[in-house]
Structure 1
């Protein structure tokens, strides 16, 4: 079998990192392309990232394990702890079934009633609890862990007696990663990460560096603990640049306090910042405001603001730039806008919170946004 070209490797890595899995039934052409490159992809993934590629007769899945779990790495459609708890209980229910088993929504509800950690807290007459299950079932369908045969789950939100029919798929048993020990042998979720942490430590900084660059928007030098990692970035800069330029569309950028992968042009396959949402435009304008004020920074390039100082920044941006925003953001209160911007900035690792303080991270001031001169003249700014 011929060795895959760099262009093919780039397409393969993009597909694997940007999708939970590739199902043969949904995309047979892509599945077979990856299958033909299996040996080359496994070599790259093991050498640079220390990640496992699972190739099944019906799907291909890259087991993407971050160095450090982040809050934004969760399921974006989930809203609270109940969503995740119900999701875990539903996964256990599906794994107990055989492939192509049919079941009613009421059967799933009964199982959730039995297995939910705090049974007294689960009340299907509560609208919030019903909508939580709607989000969970919607996600299970989206992941192809079960198929809808009859009934729209959305109607369960209005009526807890609503019934629907589903079928268990082959993939239900392969969603969760496997562990060398029975999961009940682990004391807590931290113990689940020990095996991978040991593998990371055994391979120096390479796997940590490449995983963090590929899975996080930006890697920040936040403390003495990150000094060794940034030393690795500096010493291996040429090698890192070469790898990402050859096998991905990314370029490697390194400053004293931040390391990141950047795109020279927008590509539909990736999620990137800044993108089209209005909130990204506002974050760029906020970044310009911060640059102009030049707040005091610590040895790691971080600026610490009180809640009131953060609100004052947002208010200034509202006063100077809101004319160009969409109606939703123009009419938003300062408090609400401050919370939305902080959530988005934290998701992109441009800021973080510590208690009541807002920490502006170094990458934030790398950006800057302003209206064109023509727009400002039109608005009389």
Structure 2
């Protein structure tokens, strides 16, 4: 289905959200980038900053491997000892460091960039001599999105986001149907020093609407927020565009905008739901928390 509508989907994703659609023989991938990073956008499976560092080092290791090439867990461990930042003080003798690597490799497997052939990586948490055989998948070549320059040349996260805006803006049609009758450059805020193009503003607003629970306007300047002004000026166009292509409906308030589902019935699976098993599980969780607080239960390491 994606391949049949590839041209339409690619154009819409780039024009409205600045997202690049990658359609491969074996998969389709939409490179989603938030308008601004939030704390809740991290990887839920990761518990420590070390998990992220090891995962990035694993990506660098896989970049030097060919597709379908096999490697051992011990080879990854040796490579990470050489490439991992020195301030982490990586030591496989420590249980937490081994557990961190297990989480990173488990997540890599869940997103499909590696495939275990033999062995159980969970055993590495308890026995450092555990060996696991992996395959490198074709997805590993597309997991990281390309940037206009080497990542080592970026000093801050702000620079990374700025580079992504420039790249997506270059690929978008500034004279799209939405916002085509406004100036190519609009003022952001009250001063004329900070300006962004119409395409960048459109991408940012659409990303906020689709990826965040709500888009809130800023009240610090004491004047109307430019994003809310944009939404009010083009409310009908945005609403028609979203409702024609999704099940969502745009709701716009004085200082907030969000996408909602109009029907009252539940379209998606939620927890807790109206079933009795949800009530039982919630009551059991409450009893377990009380017992844990009283010292009657102990958490497994």
TM class by smaller structure: 0.7 to 0.9
1:36 match: secondary structure: coil
Q: Is the 8 A contact 1:323 1:330 kept in 2?
A: no
Within a 5 Å distance, the mapping from 1:1-381 to structure 2 comes to 33-118=1-86, 121-198=89-166, 201-202=196-197, 203=199, 205-224=201-220, 227-263=225-261, 264=263, 265-268=265-268, 275-277=270-272, 325-329=282-286, 332=289
| Aligned partner of residue 261 in structure 1, secondary structure | strand
Deviation at 1:186, TM superposition (A): 2.5
| CA deviation after TM superposition for structure 1 residue 332, in Å | 4.0
More helix as a share of residues: 1
Question: TM-score, normalization: structure 1?
Answer: 0.62
What secondary structure does 1:230 align onto?
helix
**Aligned-CA RMSD value:** 2.5
How far is the alpha carbon of 1:327 from its aligned partner? Answer: 3.1
Alignment partners' CA distance in 1, 2:21 and 2:49: 30
What is the match of residue 348 of structure 1? none
Higher relative contact order (CA 8 A, sep 6+): 2
Q: Distance in 2 between matches of 1:254 and 1:106?
A: 55
Post-superposition shift, 1:204?
5.3
Provide the C-alpha distance between the structure 2 equivalents of 1:329 and 1:167, rounded to a whole number of angstroms.
42
For 2:88 and 2:202, how far apart are their aligned partners in 1?
A: 48
Distance 2:157 2:79 in 1: 23
Deviates more, 1:238-247 or 1:62-71: 238-247
Cα 1:325–1:168 shift into 2, 3 Å:
closer
SS at match of 2:250: strand
Runs of 5+ consecutive residues of structure 2 not aligned to the other structure: 170-195, 274-278, 294-301
Q: Confirm or deny: 8 A CA contact 1:113 1:119 kept in the other structure.
A: no
